[in-house]
Amino acid sequence: MTTTSALRKLLITGMIASLLAIVSGGFVSATDSAAACTAWPLCSEALANLLSVPIWLSIAHRALVLIALVIVVLSAFIAWQRRDADPWLRWPLLATPLLIGLLSALGGLMVMLQLYKLVDLWHLALALLVLSSQVVPLVALYQPQATPPARMGARAASEARHLRALAWWSAGGVGVMVLALSARGLSATGLQAASGLPINAGGALAISAMLSGGMLWRLRQLRKGDMLLL
């Protein structure tokens, strides 16, 4: 059975891999490098043009997604074995391989059908959902756990509720950002106008960043106070 510490390290590694994949995807989108590879999942153009920066940006992005996929599948396998684990830990991890599988399929569809602008926003939306589904289980692992001999104190229980709320508010901010980004990619005037409201992509990103920062700050404070079982 994998220890909590090992699972925590695996989740952190998976989050880093997902973040790097998202950042590399941003470079691919900003430089229009997605069109450099017309095949998927391999890139046959790399053999003919080894010095092409767009091609290597696309290859690096696909490699990072593959690494993230391996870590996600491994995390899901561990979560499947822990049938008595916290649902906030188990179910997001079980859903993540499905999300990243759909993400990969959407990326392949984007390349093969050359729907770069339309699919790109939904591709980013799924990538953010994959990241969120890794953040929530990590927060669940950091929450104080009650043992049969001793019940969780009132203060620890309150902190656990606060952490759970912060995690879901952060995920909600990401969700609003996803909707705003998706609206901007559509031609409907009403939806485009909706993305210009104060609750837009930039605002949602700022809110999500503040809530995530607050969550990390609370984790640090709890760790200093020896209220977490690390």
Q: Tell which of 112, 140, 168 closes a domain.
A: 140
Q: Is 58 exposed, middle or buried (0-12, 13-18, 19+ CB in 10 A)?
A: buried
- List Cα–Cα distances, 153 to 51, 72, 147, 158, in angstroms: 61, 33, 11, 9
Q: Are residues 102 and 159 in the same domain?
A: no
Note the pLDDT of residue 67: 93
Using CA atoms, how far residue 13 sits from 20, 81, 181, 200, in Å, is 11, 20, 27, 30
Are residue 174 and residue 88 in the same domain, yes or no?
Answer: no
* SS3 of residue 141 by DSSP: helix
- Domain end marker among 95, 118, 140: 140
Residue 112 has a CB neighbour count (10 Å cut-off) of: 11
Residue 90 one-letter amino acid? R
Most confidently modeled range among 47-56, 97-106, 219-228? 97-106
Distance CA 75, CA 78 (A): 5
Instruction: Output the six-digit token pair for 2.
Output: 């994998």
Pick the more confident residue, 34 or 81.
81
Residues 163 and 214 in one domain: yes
Domain count, the chain: 2
pLDDT-above-70 percentage for the chain: 56
Q: What is the pTM of this model?
A: 0.62
* pLDDT, position 70: 92
Q: Are 208 and 177 in contact (CB under 8 A)?
A: yes
8 Å CB contact between 110 and 116: yes
Q: How many CB atoms neighbour CB 46 within 10 A?
A: 16
**109 lies in the same domain as 171:** no
Is the pLDDT reported for residue 194 higher than 50? Answer: no
163 within 8 A of 139, measured Cβ to Cβ: yes
- Provide the domain limits for residue 153: 143-230
What is the C-alpha to C-alpha distance for residues 63 and 172, in angstroms, rounded to an integer? 29
> Does residue 194 sit in the same domain as residue 89?
no
The mean predicted confidence, pLDDT, of the chain is 71
Give the pLDDT band of residue 71 (cuts 50, 70, 90). Answer: very high
Length of the chain: 230
51 and 157 part of one domain: no
